[in-house]
Chain A
Amino acid sequence: MSEIKTFVPTPDSPPPLTSTGVLRWLRDNLFSSWFNSLLTLLALALLVRVVPPLVSWALVHAVWTGGPGVCDDASGACWAFIAAKARVMLIGTYPPELAWRPLAAGALLAGVVAATVSGRCKKRVLTGLWPVFFAAALWLVGGGAGLETVDQSRWGGLMLSLGLAAVGILVSVPLGILLALGRRSGMGGVSAVCIGFIELVRGVPLITILFMASVMMPLFLPPNFQINNLLRVQVGIILFSSAYIAEVVRGGLQAIPKGQIDAAKALGLSPWMVTVFVVLPQAVRHVLPALIGRCIALFKDTSLVIIVGLLDFLGMAKAASQDQLWLGHEVEGYVFCAAVYWVICFGMSRYGRSLEKRGPQTNR
């Protein structure tokens, strides 16, 4: 028996070092041409100049804890300021002994948001849950019916921003849809009113509306009939936002082929049912990205209320930096605000993406 020789090929030599791993990635992405190489080097130079001072300010030389005056000699950020002012920035001038009430409302909000985002709850349940939540939150924060009343002038901080935005979004989206439907309805009177309203509101900046609501309105009302400032501002925000949402939704309505409507009618659906079950679900799905964009914009727009004397999150950060004991720490306050705003807006944006991915079936 002679041994059978098997041919063993020499293994492939590895690819040249420059076409694998980190080097390849670097070459493809950062140094693919002389222009890109130049940009990379410039960007690197910029990072080297910016990042170390930033890190040294925000982390290395920062002061994390302590009372007033602890930051006097520090060269870095004074995060102790944020710690000391956290209460004011979150709930404003709300009475400290009742602070558990807005916090409980916040916990409820977190629960309702979690239920909504998880997508496990039935739509019907959610539709019921939100109004119940609002009633509960309003009762907790405002008082009445067994709880001590806390006047609106003491609401402020992040609580106020979230409240204005949440009510704004949940009222202005349905209102905007109604306006869009009204604008496209064949009825002359209704569509004229809707067009008039939308064009009027879209033609003025939000600041003007807030000023009208807050500064001009009291001039017309009799002295003993004063509507509360917060309510006026909230209505202003809702009206402003609903006009924009109406136009976004109208875009979606126009994208539905007429054949679908005719087909639905041929099946015997009433015009009302056609709108609710055939047109709207598709239209809203089409414009979901733009709609989420409007909601994020509305949340950020609430920071404008400072010009009419409501101290929201940003306003409270600014006011808190005027405390004699903590002067000169606006920057830390603004950085903190930016971080919180970013987290909330990014969360809304992610939720929007997940809504887009859900199929029409699971959305029922």
Chain B
Amino acid sequence: MKIIGKLLLALALLALATGAMAGTLEKVQQSGELVLGVSEGVAGFSAPDSNGKWAGFDVDMGHAVAAAVLKNADAIKFVPLASKQKIVAVSSGQVDLSRGTTWTMKRDCKQGVDFTVVLFYDGQGLMVKKSLGVTKATELDGASVAVVSGTTSELNVADFARANNIKLETVVFESKKEAFNAYVAGRTDAFTTDVSQLASLRAGAANPGEHIILPETFSKEPLSPFVRHGDQQWKDLVTWVLFGLIEAEEKGITQANVLDMKAKSQDPAVQRLLGATGDVGSFVGLDNDWLVRAIQAVGNYGEMYDRSFGPKTALNIPRGHNNLWTKGGLIYAMPIR
């Protein structure tokens, strides 16, 4: 089965390499819509709202790209993709851009996709009850932790415990929901899975305020939108639109003040970014207002984050690693010049 799979993949890559595929940018501009791969419903990232409109962090990312490329943030065709489909759907050209997914070497090098910019640093974290009085994971010596079976979670917890010289007793459950319920019912002291999942389960619990997510994470899940391998022009475009949103937060450009900033700002970096001077838009095959439109559509990176995960939302995930590099996080845009 594995060999067959590899053979198929090789064939597909060969077809990609030899077949004359039209550039994605051209295709998107001709059809007038961006085909965006979303999830089948993951809280905060992409889920249909009560009116059947897709909303969430990945959806906003798509709106920004659509606004930059098509001058219409809503010109998007949403295609829900199961996790087993998403890579093939992008590498075979069914979708132009896919929701954020963990950036791994294998996916990047061997599965026909290219990653753009990490927009969300997820990772395995711990949730405990507030009443426990714990504020750091290292204070959990002797605690029992609910983990989900068949994942690397269990291993990660053991590694973390050994590295910090504390004892953690893992209790394994079949599913996330089951593990979470056991933790809520008091069968274990803590519960571990990816932080975004912790937040989503917490928001659905009876008393979300009773639980806190500890600041430490002990696995790397960098979620990055990705595009088809080999279409450099399109990859560059998506990458720099996303860098632009991050740079906008760093420079204090928001959805509300973007036009004002464009007219009045004296900062040469801001002038370049918003197309008041220079021609950076042409580097990615677009006009000079490309980033103005993207920021008008969804705001800067921080606004986008707050809309889906901020303190006013049910998820309420602290910025943590996802803060700007200037504020102790990992979010860093390459210079736009």
Chain A positions within 8 Å of B, measured between CB atoms, are 75, 84-85, 87-88, 91-96, 151, 153-154, 211, 214-216, 218-224, 226, 229, 306-311, 315-316, 318-330
Give bound CA distance, A219 to B88, whole Å. 8
Residues on the B chain within 8 Å of A88, using CB: 48, 50-52
A325 touches B11 (CB 8 A): no
B15 at the interface (CB under 8 A from A): yes
Interface pairs (29), CB distance under 8 Å: A87-B51, A87-B52, A93-B48, A96-B51, A96-B52, A153-B77, A154-B52, A211-B84, A215-B85, A218-B92, A220-B12, A222-B15, A222-B19, A223-B93, A306-B82, A308-B85, A309-B80, A311-B48, A319-B40, A319-B48, A322-B43, A323-B48, A323-B50, A324-B47, A324-B55, A324-B308, A326-B50, A329-B204, A330-B177
CB distance from B306 to the nearest CB of A (A): 12
Residues of B within 8 A of A318 (CB): 40-41
Q: How far is the CA of A129 from the CA of B94 in the complex (A)?
A: 36
| Cβ-closest 9 pairs across A and B | A328-B204, A319-B41, A322-B41, A218-B92, A322-B47, A327-B204, A93-B52, A219-B12, A327-B203
Name 11 extra pairs, CB < 8 A, besides A88-B50, A315-B40, A330-B204: A87-B50, A92-B52, A93-B78, A218-B89, A219-B92, A226-B92, A309-B40, A318-B41, A320-B41, A324-B203, A324-B314
Other-chain contact of A309, B12, B47, B77, B82 (Cβ < 8 Å) = B82
Q: Decide yes or no whether B132 CB sits under 8 A from chain A.
A: no
CB proximity of B18 to chain A, nearest CB, Å: 11
List the B residue with the shortest CB-CB distance to A90: B52
Chain A hits for B77, CB < 8 A: 151, 153
With CB as the reference atom, state the residue of chain B lying closest to A85: B50
A324 near B44 with CB under 8 A, answer yes
Q: How many chain B residues touch the partner (CB < 8 A)?
A: 47
A135 CA to B16 CA in the complex, in Å? Answer: 37
- Count, A-B residue pairs, CB within 8 A: 132
Q: Which residues of B contact A329 (CB under 8 A)?
A: 204
Q: How far in angstroms is the closest Cβ of chain B from A256?
A: 43
**Alpha-carbon separation in the docked complex, A92 to B177 (Å):** 25
Contacts of B55 in A (CB 8 A): 323-324
Say how far A254's CB is from chain B's closest CB, in angstroms.
Answer: 37
B12 to chain A: which residues have CB within 8 Å? 219-220
**Cβ–Cβ contact A153 & B42, under 8 A:** no
> Smallest CB-CB separation from A228: which chain B residue?
B94
What CA separation (Å) do A328 and B199 show in the bound complex? 11
B313 at the interface (CB under 8 A from A): yes
Q: Are B8 and A320 in contact (CB under 8 A)?
A: no
Instruction: Check if B323 is an interface residue, CB within 8 A of chain A.
Output: no
Question: Any chain A CB within 8 A of the CB of B218?
Answer: no
A74 (CB) vs chain B CBs: closest residue: B206
- With A and B bound together, what is the CA distance between A222 and B12 in angstroms? 9
Most chain A beta-carbon neighbours within 10 Å: one of B49, B79, B315: B49
A293 to B258: give the CA distance in the assembly, Å.
62
Is the CB–CB distance between A321 and B93 below 8 Å? no
Given contacts A153-B77, A328-B205, contact A91 B52 (CB under 8 A): yes
List chain A residues, Cβ under 8 A from B314.
Answer: 324-325, 327
Chain B: minimal CB distance from A307 (Å)? 5
Which residues of A have CB within 8 Å of B88? 215, 218-219
Cα of A324 to Cα of B43 in the assembled complex, Å = 6
> In the docked arrangement, what's the CA distance between A154 and B82, Å?
16
Report yes or no: B81 in contact with A223, Cβ–Cβ below 8 A: no
For the complex, is B21 an interface residue (Cβ under 8 Å from A)? yes
Q: Are B79 and A153 within 8 A (Cβ)?
A: yes
Q: Which residues of A contact B22 (CB under 8 A)?
A: 224
User: Chain A: which residue is nearest B54 at the CB level?
Assistant: A93
A306 touches B40 (CB 8 A): yes
- Pick from A151, A214, A226, A325: contact of B93, CB under 8 Å: A226
For B53, list chain A residues within 8 Å (CB). 93
**Known A85-B50, A310-B80: A324·B92 in contact at CB below 8 Å:** no
Interface membership of B200, Cβ < 8 A: yes
Complex: A120 Cα to B13 Cα, angstroms: 58
B28 → A minimal CB distance (Å): 14
